[in-house]
Structure 1
Amino acid sequence: MNAARLYLLLHVFLSAGVLVHTFEPFTTTMVVGLGLGTLGRTIYNYLHESCDSKWIDFNATGLEVDLESKLFGQHIASRIILKAVTGFMSNENPKKPLVLSLHGWTGTGKNFVSQMIADNVYKEGMDSSFVHIFTSELHFPHLSHFDTYKTQLQQWIRGNVSNCARSMFIFDEMDKMHPGLIDSIKPYLDYYDRLDGVSYRKAIFIFLSNAGGEGIIETALDFWKAGRDREELELKDLETVLSLSVFNNKRSGLWHTSLIDKNLVDFFVPFLPLEDRHVVQCVMAEMKARGLRPEQKVADQVARDVVYFPKSERVFSVKGCKTIASKLDYYT
């Protein structure tokens, strides 16, 4: 339905004395009573996000382009994310939900990738009512409320998946989450057709964590010291050390979790530390996003002022691209 058609329908509604400023269920009932039920539902669905193909329509090409043009220095993560999400969203009958665990140092792109996935699955992107974000320090701050958090988390996920099977749940700061809490949703991530009448198999769960970052950095640094190109790094070089370090790290939020023990995490995705050249790319992309003409001189200056480690060699950015936006304000 185009905008002109919608405007005409709204004018008809107003002329008929029907309340159209808010299309809540009560309003729809009024419309049905007036013999205009189908029309009311059409306008309601046009104006309000609903769990259908109009609002949820995966764009595989869009995700691929975003990963290639906006995510820098993450050849392993890009490849895994694209294949995992594309394969899952193309399957009309998946056996279980998609569970991704993204690991790496701050500023390497974990949150950014979550946003890219949401932007290419939901018309409203991260603003979609079907995308739910949990932050450990905000939503689960007190260990004394542990049992309450477990119950609330279960109810929240059950309720939202009941409302829309294609829901996405993002758990940020997993390294700050109370160990054992995430196990409360283990049944929802397993190979069950239905639990109490609800199927969770089309949902997406994404865990974001700094845990395992040290191992990733050590491996990347070893490659650099050996004179090897970082693009030679493969998932097999990091996957085992990553899953073991996360499982055995009491501060990971996934410490001794049955999610790992039962192989319910589909992919542990490593995010590599960023080099100077990647920081430059981040600056150029930020200038472009702001509508500015990307200037190599400015990008180089911002990148030079970023803190790197090890101190003597200045190989990797301590904060990745996390502070780029604020630093760019200083130079533009």
Structure 2
Amino acid sequence: MKATYATYFVYYVLISSGFVNAFEPISTTFVVGAGVGLAAVGRRVYNYVYESCNSKWIAFNSTGLEVALDQKLFGQHVASRVIQKAVTGFMNNKNPKKPLVLSLHGWTGTGKNLVSQLIAENIYKEGMASSCVHQFVTSTHFPHSSQLENYKSQLQQWIKGNVTNCPRSIFIFDIFDGMDQMHPGLIDCIKPYLGYYDNLDGVSYRQAIFIFLSNTGGEHITQVALHFWKAGRDREEIKLHDLEPALSLSVLNNKKSGLWHTSLMDKNLVDFFVPFLPLEFRHVRLCGMAEMAAKGLKPDQDVVDQMARDLVYFPMSEKIFSVQGCKTIGSKLDYYT
């Protein structure tokens, strides 16, 4: 059956390319009847045309990730370094002991979704459009609490099926749309896939990446950044050790967080809690300039400055940090240009 499928796939390619029309009838019969030889060719042609789980479609670019983080992620020196080292170390490890589990934390618009995108773009040729990248949004995929048991089963089957198809898969749980209010126990059902197991029911999850995006801990991260600002210290002096311990505790103790309902943390299944700092006026300007360039517009500093000044900043007395970060920059620029 496989040989027949591959044979006719090649034949279709030849016909659509105009090659078969140039053959004599006897040659055409030979092409169709080539069997096993054409089956091998068919597989190669199919894998060339359609995304497959191989090195043509999946190849980690460490330098590309580093450059992308430097040029596209603004104001996040801590997160950039953690992400670069964590992903590079994991992807270069030929025999990881567990999947890579990243938990990204911070206020909206600080770059968490962007980081997920940059990781995908530097692993998969198709980036976020890759069939190996799977994103879950609570309100879309798990809207009804009465269906919790069904959701658990579907989620487990979905993850198992996709990892079976391609071990090098990424699963993104987008908290922006409500995972902080996710049904208790839903994420807990995938806990076995995140652990130190050779395989579960014959499937190994050790090459997969799981990314959780959350606003939880944003207040603590902001307090640290504000403390540095009031002390007259440079923002770039903030280190991971200034943020990570208290961040992990704030997530663990936050009963509104979906992660609180799980034992992911007390089982040490999260490899890195990655803090995203609140963005200042200067970072919003950088986002604006980058957005104009991405839209094919000539960057205009005056336009960007006006847009950035009109955004809302907090705390009310100091007005240091952008309330929405860079989240609405694209639509705002449409108004100002």
Give yes or no for TM over 0.5: yes
1:211 is the counterpart of 2:211: no
Deviation (angstroms), 1:13: 5.4
Name the CA distance, whole Å, in 2 between partners of 1:31 and 1:88: 46
Tell me, what secondary structure is at the counterpart of 1:207? strand
User: Unaligned 5+ residue runs, structure 1?
Assistant: 1-5, 18-29
1:124: which partner in 2?
Answer: 126
Deviation (angstroms), 1:224: 1.3
User: Unaligned 5+ residue runs, structure 2?
Assistant: 1-12, 25-31
Name the CA distance, whole Å, in 2 between partners of 1:312 and 1:32: 78
Name the CA distance, whole Å, in 1 between partners of 2:115 and 2:83: 8
Shift in CA distance, 8/261, structure 1 to aligned 2, threshold 3 Å: same
Q: Any residues of structure 2 matched to 1:127-142 within 5 Å, and which?
A: 127-142=129-144
Per-residue Cα deviation, 1:97-143 (whole angstroms, up to 9, x for no partner): 00000000000000000000000000000000000000111111111
Aligned with residue 179 of structure 1, among 163, 181, 184 = 184
Aligned with residue 298 of structure 2, among 293, 296, 305 = 293
Q: Which runs of 4+ in 1 moved over 6 A?
A: 6-9, 14-17
Name the CA distance, whole Å, in 2 between partners of 1:117 and 1:285: 19
Per-residue Cα deviation, 1:233-254 (whole angstroms, up to 9, x for no partner): 1111111111111112122110
1:305: which partner in 2?
Answer: 310
Q: Any residues of structure 2 matched to 1:1-332 within 5 Å, and which?
A: 10-12=17-19, 33=35, 35-173=37-175, 174-332=179-337
Name the CA distance, whole Å, in 2 between partners of 1:158 and 1:71: 32
Deviation (angstroms), 1:7: 7.3
1:3: which partner in 2?
Answer: none
The percentage of counterpart residues that share the same residue type is 71
Per-residue Cα deviation, 1:230-273 (whole angstroms, up to 9, x for no partner): 11111111111111111121221100421100111000000000
Per-residue Cα deviation, 1:40-63 (whole angstroms, up to 9, x for no partner): 112111110000000000011110
Amino acid in the other structure paired with 2:97 = K
Name the CA distance, whole Å, in 1 between partners of 2:198 and 2:70: 35
CA contact (8 A) 1:31 1:40 kept: no
Name the CA distance, whole Å, in 1 between partners of 2:275 and 2:185: 23
Shift in CA distance, 139/223, structure 1 to aligned 2, threshold 3 Å: same
Tell me, what secondary structure is at the counterpart of 2:184? coil
1:27: which partner in 2?
Answer: none
Name the CA distance, whole Å, in 2 between partners of 1:31 and 1:239: 63
Deviation (angstroms), 1:33: 4.0
CA contact (8 A) 1:180 1:255 kept: no
Amino acid in the other structure paired with 1:224 = W
Deviation (angstroms), 1:293: 1.5
Deviation (angstroms), 1:197: 0.5
Name the CA distance, whole Å, in 1 between partners of 2:19 and 2:223: 67
CA contact (8 A) 1:220 1:230 kept: yes
Using the size of structure 2 for normalisation, the TM-score is 0.89
Deviation (angstroms), 1:301: 0.8
Amino acid in the other structure paired with 1:11 = G
CA contact (8 A) 2:180 2:216 kept: yes
Name the CA distance, whole Å, in 2 between partners of 1:93 and 1:31: 43
Per-residue Cα deviation, 1:1-31 (whole angstroms, up to 9, x for no partner): xxxxx879943357679xxxxxxxxxxxx88
1:24: which partner in 2?
Answer: none
Could you say what the CA RMSD is over the residues aligned between the two structures, in angstroms? 1.9
